[in-house]
Structure 1
Amino acid sequence: MKMMLYHLSGSLRGRTQYLDTDFVRFGIGDSCGIVFDASTDAMVCPVHAEIAVEDHAPVIRDRSGRNALFVNGQPCAESPLKDGDLLQFGEDGPLVRFRLMPEEAPPTKPFRHIVADSRDIVVRTPHARYMSPLYLARHVLADVARYGSPVLKLFAATLVLAPLVIIAVLGVALYQHHLAAKASERRMAELVSQLETGRLTRVELEQRIEQERRSVTELERQREELVGKLSAAVREQEAARRTRAEMEAVRRQLGELESAQRFAEDIVRRFERGVGFLQGGYGFREKDSGRLLRYRGFDEHGNPLLDEKGNTLVTVEGTAPPVVIYYGGTAFLVDSRGTVLTNRHLVRMWESFEPAQEALQAGYEPDLRVLRIFFPGMAEPYNLEVVEVSDRADLVVLRTSQAPADGTPLPLAPAQEGVREGEPVVVLSYPGTFDGMLARLSKPVSEELMQVVGTDALKLAETLAQRRLIRPLVTQGHVAGVSPDVIAFEAGSAGGSSGGPVLDRTGRVIAVNQAVLRRVGGVNVGLPVRLVWELLGRAGLAPPR
């Protein structure tokens, strides 16, 4: 008869024994078929019990002579056995689970028996309660490995190996992701370095201020030289008694120069409080995770850490300050409700700047963090929100967080009114942004500001506003060309002039400055006021004419 014995305790604990016999003895003696270790199982007799098959049924008998056989916890001298009976050899002696097996059954252990026996052995093993699942899993796997069928062993191996394979695959994937992230960070470091071309050290900013100051001095010298030459020409012609026509031509040229100066001064006096310094700042965040692109750290001077190639070190990990690319431009009021007009690219710098475009293609998305405007004579800035963006022109309508108390709206010329070539114009703007504004201050004042604030873009703008030092620069010129969508004019400007109003002699806005064509002799390009009216109409706004 086929039988299976599973040892729950004692010297054979954890063992499963298959028997195909009609008789077997249990004990520590050499004549026994199931032999226990005498040193471990001292309560077991040399011949403790025997199982015999009688009339096709197994029967167990006590041969210890001490009534030391227990079946299912009860002392027993002789008892028929059923599948699942629990045998114990001596009080506190080894426990054995008895199982009957069909004659056609293979010499393997069914999974349900493996689980049941493993649970029995865990219950009888002293351990912390929270360790039970671990002990059970260990015994189940050990039994499957020893006594399970080939199919069960394969299944168990799959269960064991699958997590390892998954862990290995995840490890490879994470490592590849790590390499990709590092490559992305290196690329973003290069792009951020290109984007931060406007980020200057204190020495660099001081050099640019001095250069701008020399440029302003040179322009003033050229103007005075021109006035001096014209005045000298008048005196020479009077002395030489030239023709009246020649003298009138020189006087007219001198008068136009002086008139243009008065015209520009009048425009500044009337409208400078409506032309503000626009300050923006944007960063990047990972499109998938939403994590911000951050600096790795800063040196003792507050400058970002650099790699061996001079690129700014960046990461999406940690809590360091996020990367913010600051920029400046010009915007102007068109009504008393706080409606502001400027170029679209000053609100969406990433649309027109190639390094920013590459950052977007690398899996990042823009994050506009700062957009505000400082008006002359006002100590605090106004935050801006986007109202309407033109889809055909470089224009955008913004609105201040509250209506500026002392701002002066600029009147717009009628949309249908034409602009003539040669017509004089004035541009109010903030060319060069900070270096342009600081260059117009006395050297002691600009140096004191640099000492107090340094090159922090936000603090520098706020300090200039609090000291009432923000004022637009006026440049003069004339219309050089007119087309339906573009007005070209000659008037000195630089970076920061974008978004500035172009005004005619009567003080009406006829165009919005967009860019400088430096390869065409410094000719500026402006967007005609007709496009402004169209955008305001789309936004449902109608400033006074």
Structure 2
Amino acid sequence: MRKPGEKGVAPSSTVDRREVRAFLESLTGPSRGNVNWLADNALTVSVGEGRALSVRPKDDLPPHDNDIATLQWADDGYAITVSAGRNVWVNGQEISSTLLVHGDMIEFGEKGPMSRYRLCNHSYPVRHTVEDILSDAYAYTRTSRRPFAKKMSGALRDSGRRLVSQTTFLFRITVVAALLVILGFGFLLYQNDRRLADSIEQESRKIEAVAIMLAQTREDALTPKDLASLREAFESQVLSAEQRLGTLEHRAGAPTRVIAASTRSVAFIQGAYGLRHLESGKLLRHVLGPNGEKLKTPLGQPLIEPGAMGEPAEFQFTGTGFLLEGVPLMATNRHVALPWTSGDREQTLKDAGLKAEMLRLLAYLPDQAEPIEAQLERFSEMADLAILAVDPGKVHGLGMPLADAAPQAGEELYLLGYPTGLKALIAQAGPGFLEMLEKDGTLNFWSIASQLSAQSKIQPLASRGIVARTSSGAIVYDAETTTGGSGGPALNRRGEVVAINAAILPEFGGSNIGVPVAHLKALLREVESQ
């Protein structure tokens, strides 16, 4: 119990606590938090300058201009009578006189202050209960005539102050602990949400990266619809490699013997790479169902996850390469040997937390029944070139010479390669091979190439073109080719490699770009210096 003269208690030393019947606790104004004890039968309530509330025995002093009301004890409580010309509101209702009951909110004057009237058993509580404090805040917001925003902010501010200053020490510690726990849980939830958001973003990037790779794989995959298209092509008399060469000889007297000799060194490249999850270090593998079947996503894509039980997810590709004279090496494009480096695919994979790695790389040479295993030896950072190492025992006597000088504009050149990959090879193999595939009913990427090779059906296509422009960085020509022909050699009339086919420019009338052979020679020097 507070003593007279303490902060928060009316400065009256005449009040005998044993006779206290009620008290007024100021909730607003400069007297906020102060207590005015009510013990006498008759009391005068005054509001001084600055809205400070004070209470005195009625007979202590003569009436004053600051007097606003009188309190008179009657039976079990005080009755309040408003002074003439003054305004008082009890629980939001303006009154002239009324009997106060425990908990009434009294607003003295137009601008307050507001006080709460409480009956008591001769004492003022040292600490308020949380219920009392919240009840005061509710009563204030319900009865105050101030604008809604102001009374709400005032209620929140004052109830917060009172919860801090007028509750028990144990309650405050409990509240602080609870707040810390709530903040801790909030932080954990925030961290969990961040991890979940990062996981979702990572997963979406992974799906995007895989979709990009699958799009490339679909270009090289065969479908029943492709077989039907090939059958139509036969009906249109698709030219074989030999027929194409005959056409060259008929039209331009091309040195077909040189082209035929070069053909034996031009390889059909077939490969597949996988994706390794950097965080777990595991390859993406097919997720299998209860019966061992490969599961798919709702969008029909293969369902692949790091460390799943199925085979590694293969992203297949094809291209062209050619053997180099005198060394067991094969030249091709960098985007053939490292297909995931095209465009922004590598960065997309990195953002998705994935890294590509070669699973299988095979080179099929004409007239050889078995493929050759190939490995990346070196690639150029400056040009779209790569060099593959192959088994020396399987390439003896093969290889193509490199030209000493770049071709001039207007010169004729000959391009060898495997445009459209397996589809062109099946077309060249003839209707019998196509019927066998249709009868077998399987269109396996690897087995088709193996069957073609076993039957000596792998032969490059040749096309003739004219050099349009030559520079140190590129040679532009109009020899026909398309996807799959990348990495093929462009030959001059002496059978020497003058460029390595690298890109197609369909918007320029079918023009193609080759990397000048000088860049290949520079890359070979790097290999020799290792």
Question: Within the alignment, does 1:473 sit opposite 2:461 as a pair?
Answer: yes
Q: Is the 8 A contact 1:336 1:409 kept in 2?
A: yes
Question: Which of the residues 456, 467, 485 maps onto 2:473?
Answer: 485
**3-state DSSP class of the match of 1:493?**
coil
Alignment-derived partner of residue 312 in structure 2: 322
Q: How far 1:197 moved relative to its partner?
A: 2.8
SS of aligned partner of 1:326: strand
Aligned to 1:518, which of 483, 506, 520?
506
The answer to whether 1:206 aligns with 2:206 is: no
Q: Does 1:431 align with 2:416?
A: no
Map 1:307-346; keep pairs closer than 5 Å. Answer: 307-308=298-299, 310-346=300-336
> Do 1:477 and 1:491's aligned partners in 2 also have CA atoms closer than 8 Å?
yes
In structure 2, how many angstroms separate the alpha carbons of the residues matched to 1:298 and 1:458? 24
Deviation at 1:270, TM superposition (A): 1.3
1:17-59: CA deviation from partner (whole Å, max 9, x where unpaired): xxxxxxxxxxxxxxxxxxxxxxxxxxxxxxxxxxxxxxxxxxx
Query: What's the offset of the Cα at 1:267?
Result: 2.6
| Counterparts of 1:176 and 1:533, CA distance in 2 | 50
Matched, 1:502 2:490: yes
C-alpha distance in 2 between matches for 1:177 and 1:270: 57
The superposition leaves residues 118-162 of structure 1 with CA deviations (integer Å, 9 ceiling, x where unpaired) of xxxxxxxxxxxxxxxxxxxxxxxxxxxxxxxx9xx9xxx9xx99x
CA distance in 2, matches of 1:324, 1:268: 35
The Cα shift of 1:525 comes to 1.0
Q: CA deviation at 1:313?
A: 3.2
CA distance in 1, matches of 2:208, 2:413: 45
Look up the match of 1:258: 250
What is the SS of the residue equivalent to 2:478? strand
The match for 1:445 is: 433
Residue number in structure 2 paired with 1:142: none
Which residue pairs with 1:294 in the alignment?
Answer: 285
Q: Distance in 1 between matches of 2:214 and 2:495?
A: 41
| Partner secondary structure for residue 264 of structure 2 | helix
**Aligned match of 2:410 in 417, 422, 427?**
422
Q: Distance in 2 between matches of 1:211 and 1:356?
A: 38
> Per the alignment, in what secondary structure is the counterpart of residue 292 of structure 1?
strand
Contact 2:202/2:352 (CA < 8 Å) preserved in 1? no
Tell me: CA distance 1:195–1:413, structure 2 relative to 1, closer, same or farther (3 Å).
closer
CA distance in 2, matches of 1:189, 1:377: 36
Structure 1 stretches of 4+ moved >6 Å = 163-174, 298-304
Partner of 2:351: 361
Residues 51-96 of structure 1 show CA distances to partners (whole Å, capped at 9, x for unaligned) of: xxxxxxxxxxxxxxxxxxxxxxxxxxxxxxxxxxxxxxxxxxxxxx
Distance between the aligned counterparts of 2:481 and 2:494, measured in 1? 21
1:197 aligns with 2:218: yes
Structure 2 gaps of 5+ residues are: 1-170
Structure 1 pair 325–216 and aligned structure 2 pair: CA distance change class (3 A): farther
1:380-399 matches, within 5 Å, as: 380-399=370-389
User: Residues 273 and 357 of structure 2 are in contact (CA less than 8 Å); yes or no, is this contact kept in structure 1?
Assistant: yes
SS of alignment partner, residue 394 of structure 1: coil
**Length, aligned pairs only:** 360
Pairing 1:454–2:442 present: yes
- Is contact 1:342-1:395 (8 Å) kept? yes
Q: In the TM superposition, what is the alpha-carbon distance from 1:204 to its structure 2 partner?
A: 2.9
Unaligned ranges ≥5, structure 1 = 1-149, 228-255
Cα deviation, residue 167, structure 1 = 9.6
Specify whether residues 182 and 329 from structure 1 end up closer, same or farther in structure 2 by C-alpha distance, changes over 3 A only: closer
Quote the offset at 1:393 in angstroms: 0.8
The normalised TM-score by structure 1 is 0.57
Q: CA separation in 1, counterparts of 2:226 and 2:346? A: 24
Shift in CA distance, 394/302, structure 1 to aligned 2, threshold 3 Å:
farther
For 2:253 and 2:414, locate their aligned partners in 1 and report how far apart those are by CA, in whole Å. 10
